[in-house]
Amino acid sequence: MTTTPQEDESDGVPPASAWVRFLRSYGPTSNNLTMFDEYVSSALGRARVKPISLSAPQLEDMVRHIESKALGSILIAGTAGDGKTYHCRALWERIGGAPRDWAAKGNVKELHLADGRLAVFIKDLSEFNGEESDIPLQRLERSVLEGENSEIVILAANHGQILDRLRDLGRRQDRTHPLRKPLQERFLQAGPAPARLAVFDLSRSTSRKTLEEVVEAVAGHPEWESCKRCALKADGKVCPIDENRRRLLGESDGGQLSRRLGDLVEIARLNGLHLPMRDLLALCSNMILGCSDAKHAKENLMTCADVAKIQESSDLGKASVYVNAFGANLPKRRASDRPIFKAMSSFGVGDESTNAADGLLVYGKDDSRLQADFARLIARDPIYGATIAFSTAQDAYLEGYEGARLEGGSAEFLSMLENQRRRLFFTLPDGEAGYPHWSMTAFRFAGEYLEIINALKEKRPVSEVVRGRIAKGLNRVLTGLLLENVDRIFIASSGGFTQSRVSVLCVMVN
């Protein structure tokens, strides 16, 4: 795409302001939950910047399928935000479709292929209301079930939506639609696709590597080069947008922030939660642009125009990348609308802690036994760690009279304390014995869980300590007793017809 120069700073406009405004379109705002591809494309046209380029993981397989001249049609399935329309548009362009034709109005696009077939693209089944979807579904049915070879239908649809539409169509035709059951088994149990229908399920493609790609595409985008000549960074000023971007890229910690972010995403995936590409883009956008003070940033997402106000307030901590990672800068209702922030909040980071970590945060500055750790882990980060605002609130909390605390004077400090716990989760060094970073979450053994997964993938033995802990846990669950055995598992029975697990009878299995 050809870009035009952004606003010149000589006009008083920061050089990257158009890019930052465009990046906000990916953020967790209230107006980009539907028709995302079209919404972002419109924002891109207004901003006139280079687009965010992400791989379409199944595009090459789709192209090969069409070039093989395989008979039948294609279904691009997934959940909202998986990139169905993005893949559909990319496929259109790869097989010869013009971008301007795709951008023209209309949900159905047709393209004549070199082999004589007509490629019929249905951009999004959700754009059809009710019975309007009958025509494209019948077109798909003729291609898949009735041997119609003159067309290849490329249909993009949500899992549940196409199943519902097929059920309704079958009901109106007084039959069970023959495509519904095999597609349901394909989606839920990874069963075989119907004959003559190639199913590309995008909901199975998100992983830690996907997050790494999104982080690099967003935080490493070439448009950020304009920030180097911005007055908001001159004379020792700290621009929170640029600071967050560089921390997300790993410039200050060797990539530890993004690795631990990847750990959280990977655990969520292994627990059966699917995080679509749209949500990963929203996460990265929010981490860079988020701000917990809505007075300084509309919809809690910064623009370049907001940075000067935040700098004047001397409280950059409200734009902390570590807080934004959990959506804690957003109103609770808006955060709960996004699967990614629901997943991140489920780890309890900010609410969970240890006496050692909280003692360090509250008393570390003054306690001679903790001062070295405080300087190493807290004070060394004056931007989001031992900020002026945090130190002031800390002093007021420790020195304030009891009545002030009871009247809510401690609320501000306690809120800051939650944010510091979030920062510690990402910044505590690996192997920090006194303050293990997983102890800042509700899943204290999550690190060992990931180690088990990696060991199994690499066909390595699981450590004896972990195996013993699993054995002890199983014994306690199976028997209802506080057993300490780590070298064997007890299979318990009540010895009768009750559901009780407690009994004097048991069978030992080595």
Considering 311, 327, 345, which residue would you say is the last residue of a domain? 345
Residues 410 and 429 in one domain: yes
Considering 183, 204, 225, which residue would you say is the last residue of a domain? 204
Q: Would you say residue 24 lies in a domain?
A: no
Residues 75 and 142 in one domain: yes
CATH of the domain at 73: 3.40.50
Q: How many residues are recorded in the chain? A: 510
Residues 430 and 442 in one domain: yes
Considering 159, 186, 204, which residue would you say is the last residue of a domain? 204
Residues 167 and 222 in one domain: no
Contacts of residues 187-195 at CB distance under 8 Å and 24 or more positions apart, as own/partner, are: 187/77, 187/159, 187/163, 194/144, 195/72, 195/144
Q: What is the pLDDT of residue 191?
A: 87
Residues 322 and 250 in one domain: yes
Look at residues 152, 143, 151 and name the one whose alpha carbon lies nearest to residue 194. Answer: 143
Q: Supply the angle between the helices 256-270 and 208-219 in degrees, to the nearest 10.
A: 140
pLDDT in tens, the chain (510 residues): 333 344 455 466 889 999 999 999 889 987 654 445 555 666 666 767 788 888 888 999 999 999 999 999 999 999 888 889 889 999 999 999 998 999 888 999 999 999 999 999 999 998 898 889 999 999 999 999 999 999 999 999 999 999 999 999 999 999 999 999 999 999 988 889 999 999 999 987 677 899 999 999 999 999 999 999 999 998 889 999 999 999 999 998 999 999 999 999 999 999 988 898 889 999 999 999 999 998 889 999 999 999 999 999 888 999 999 999 999 999 999 998 889 999 999 999 999 999 999 999 999 999 999 999 999 999 999 999 999 999 988 888 888 755 555 555 578 889 999 999 999 999 999 999 899 999 999 999 999 999 999 999 999 999 999 999 999 999 988 888 888 999 999 887 766 666 665 555 555 555
Q: Would you say residue 2 lies in a domain?
A: no
* Number of separate domains in the chain: 4
Q: Would you say residue 43 lies in a domain?
A: no
Residues 63 and 199 in one domain: yes
Q: Would you say residue 49 lies in a domain?
A: no
Q: What is the pLDDT of residue 5?
A: 40
* Cβ atoms within 10 Å, residue 68: 9
| Helix locations, 271-313, DSSP H | 277-289, 304-313
Q: Which domain holds residue 412?
A: 355-447
Whole-structure pTM value: 0.86
Tokens of 85: 């329309």
Q: Would you say residue 15 lies in a domain?
A: no
Residues 299 and 285 in one domain: yes
Per-residue CA distances from 178 to 125, 126, 181, 182, 190 (Å): 19, 21, 7, 8, 18
* Cβ atoms within 10 Å, residue 147: 10
Residues 315 and 391 in one domain: no
Q: Quick one: CA dihedral 383, 389, 392, 396, positive or negative?
A: negative
Residues 215 and 93 in one domain: no
Per-residue CA distances from 503 to 283, 473, 477, 487, 508 (Å): 50, 18, 13, 21, 13
Q: Would you say residue 110 lies in a domain?
A: yes
Q: Would you say residue 51 lies in a domain?
A: no
Residues 183 and 260 in one domain: no
Residues 142 and 111 in one domain: yes
Q: Would you say residue 38 lies in a domain?
A: no
Residues 341 and 216 in one domain: yes
Interatomic CA distance for residues 3 and 20, integer angstroms:
15
